[in-house]
Amino acid sequence: MRLIPILLLLLALPACSPDPQAPAPASEPQAVAEPEPEAPAEVLPGVEVLVRDYGDQLAGLRVAILTNPTGVTRELVSTIDAVRGIPGVEVVRLFSPEHGLRGQHYAGDKVNENRDPVSGLPVMSLYGATRRPTPEMLEGLDVVLYDIQDVGHRTYTFVSSLTYLMEACEEAGVAVWVLDRPDPTGGHIVGGPMIDEDLLSFIGVHPVPQVYGMTPGEWARMIRAERTPGIDLRVIPMDGWRRGMTFGETGWIWVPTSQHIPQWTSSYFYAMTGTIGELGKVSVGVGTPTPFELIGQEWLDGVEFARRLNARDLPGVIFRPVSYAPRYALGTGKMLHGVQIHISDYHAVESARVLGALIAELAQIAPDKDLFADFLREDGSPSGFLKAIGQRDIAEKLAANEVPPALLNPDSEAFRAFLQRREAYLLYP
């Protein structure tokens, strides 16, 4: 209340006029209006392009959908509901991949689903009794829509399900439409070991590098050309996405692709450490709030490990010493020491190079731990690590604590051939 009389007094004082004899004040720098940052182009997922442009072409067809929680519009409307809302479209059944239709199952768990509790539609699991659609599953269908967000890594099984779906649909004469989504890491970086033909499996279904730099639609174009030339395939492309655009730059909300890929950035870390996790001997952060961002064990010296890794001067990444105790999975309740991986530049980092550096340093820093010795199971079959790394010669050298050049530099004839093959299947500049 005391401020009011003072303010009134100040308002009543005459304005001060500048002294005509005083020197002119120096010119003050003027604020220059900075240009408004360019708004990111609107990016539409394939499902929205389908509803906008192609819905009438589905009218009258008997439709199935292979999807999971990531199959949504930008407003998080399920693809199942979006397609069922198209006039004249009949969705008769659903297919589910690893982790289940609604994403409720843990990695590797067999999924036995019969009916979707939300839509009421029958569900055929492709990660239970069979991973390949049977003729009975496809009977009476005209087209199967595929809409699943991927992470762009060879060992992630969603593109394996897409591949098996395409093979089964080619035999059954059923069309496949892929509703495209981004490679979350931009689709512009390719790296990591190729895979030996005899090591192809559900966690490495086609001869590509670990990081192949393609969207699901581009993957499907590759499979049609190289495995299923007779299939009736249509890719419904995204609108507005360009190569090099990360998921974070789309403006979309990230729906976890599985329990341990909680953020879009987890796609980078999965490519850096997921293969190491297959060893079952070193923690990769599963059981902590930062899955795949950590590497640790009780016997590791985190400070030295971080120093050695940072000395490699890998682009876009920094390693920090940490200690942590996982709440579940490997190392539960134990204090582990190691590093946390931090990304400083999402456009420059090459996850496959980081994986190679981590493996190389583990082989050199702990030769007595025999981390890579058991790349074959007791029955002689390949271990999960061998199938994930993809090359026997790499695994054999690591078992002898040698660091093969192919681990750090995948510039092989097969890798160069893939780069040439890949160019023919890309859809986005």
Dump pLDDT digits (tens) for 262-283: 999 999 999 999 999 999 999 9
Paired with 290 in beta bridges are none
Q: In b/e form, how buried is each residue of 288-311, taking b as 16+ CB within 10 angstroms?
A: bebbbbbbbbeebebeebbebbee
d(C-alpha 205, C-alpha 189), whole Å: 20
Strands 336-343 and 317-324 come out as antiparallel
Which homologous superfamily is 46-180+215-245 in?
Uncharacterised protein PF07075, DUF1343 (3.40.50.12170)
∠ CA 74-79-85, rounded to 5°: 105
d(C-alpha 153, C-alpha 228), whole Å: 21
Q: Write out the E strands in 48-128.
A: 62-67, 90-96, 123-125
Lowest mean pLDDT among 30-34, 70-74, 103-107, 290-294: 30-34
Q: What is the DSSP string of 207-271?
A: S--SB----HHHHHHHHHHHT-TT--EEEE--BS--TT--GGGTTPPPPPSSTT--STTHHHHHH
Q: Is the pLDDT of residue 77 over 80?
A: yes
d(C-alpha 284, C-alpha 59), whole Å: 47
Dump pLDDT digits (tens) for 34-45: 444 444 569 999
d(C-alpha 324, C-alpha 7), whole Å: 59
The pLDDT of 140-157, averaged and rounded, is 98
Dump pLDDT digits (tens) for 195-242: 999 999 999 999 999 999 999 999 999 999 999 999 999 999 999 999
Dump pLDDT digits (tens) for 394-409: 999 999 989 998 898 8
Dump pLDDT digits (tens) for 356-391: 999 999 999 999 999 999 999 999 999 999 999 999
What number of CA atoms fall less than 13 Å from residue 344's CA on the CB side? Answer: 9
Residues of the chain with CATH 3.90.1150.140: 266-410
Residues of the chain with CATH 3.40.50.12170: 46-180+215-245
Give the pLDDT of residue 6.
36
Q: Is domain 266-410 given the CATH code 3.90.1150.140 in the classification? A: yes
